[in-house]
């Protein structure tokens, strides 16, 4: 029993012999440009199926499937609850928007350590959003409760 690669080679060999026979018949019967174009077309058409099969990568039984990376979200919500930012760290892609919503019983702020953004005072159920255009790590905290900290990682 022949392997798939050897079967492809046998098929290529058969097609090459056929092309040679057609070319020889053409040379005996006609030398016009139109006839030559027909032969070239036949050659190309007869080779396409073999090359499309034989050029395909052979899968190995031992190969593991390619794991696709999970897409980075373009919109992320952070809850303020229990005197904490939940989740404390989020990762987003550049151009993404992060929204903080105060679901706590006290007012809070979302203030960048570099003064890039500041929500001002957020009462219960208030929200504030910021669109991150640059890559980097951006730390923030609550100015009312400075022990509350979080960060946004922009990739």
User: pLDDT tens, 50-80?
Assistant: 544 444 455 555 566 666 666 666 779 999 9
- Across 11-15, 47-51, 89-93, 113-117, least confident range: 47-51
Q: Looking at residue 55, what is its pLDDT?
A: 46
Tokens of 14: 């058969």
What is the SS3 assignment for 10?
Answer: helix
* Sequence-distant contacts of 90-93: CB under 8 A, at least 24 apart: 90/150, 90/151, 90/152, 90/153, 91/152, 91/153, 91/154, 91/155, 92/132, 92/152, 92/153, 92/154, 92/155, 93/154, 93/155
């Amino acid at each position: 029993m022949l392997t798939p690669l050897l079967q492809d080679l046998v098929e290529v060999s058969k097609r090459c012999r056929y092309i040679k026979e057609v070319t020889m018949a053409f040379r005996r019967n006609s030398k016009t440009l139109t006839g030559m174009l027909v032969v070239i077309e036949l050659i190309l058409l007869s080779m396409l199926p073999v090359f499309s099969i034989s050029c395909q990568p052979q899968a190995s039984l031992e190969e593991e499937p390619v794991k696709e990376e999970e897409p980075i979200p373009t919109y992320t919500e952070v809850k303020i609850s229990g005197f904490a930012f939940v989740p404390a760290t989020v990762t987003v892609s550049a151009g993404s928007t992060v929204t903080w919503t105060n679901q706590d019983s006290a007012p809070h702020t979302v203030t960048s350590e570099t003064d890039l953004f500041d929500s001002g005072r957020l009462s219960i159920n208030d929200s504030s959003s910021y669109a991150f255009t640059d890559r980097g790590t951006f730390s923030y905290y609550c100015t009312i409760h400075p022990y509350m900290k979080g960060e946004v990682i922009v990739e």
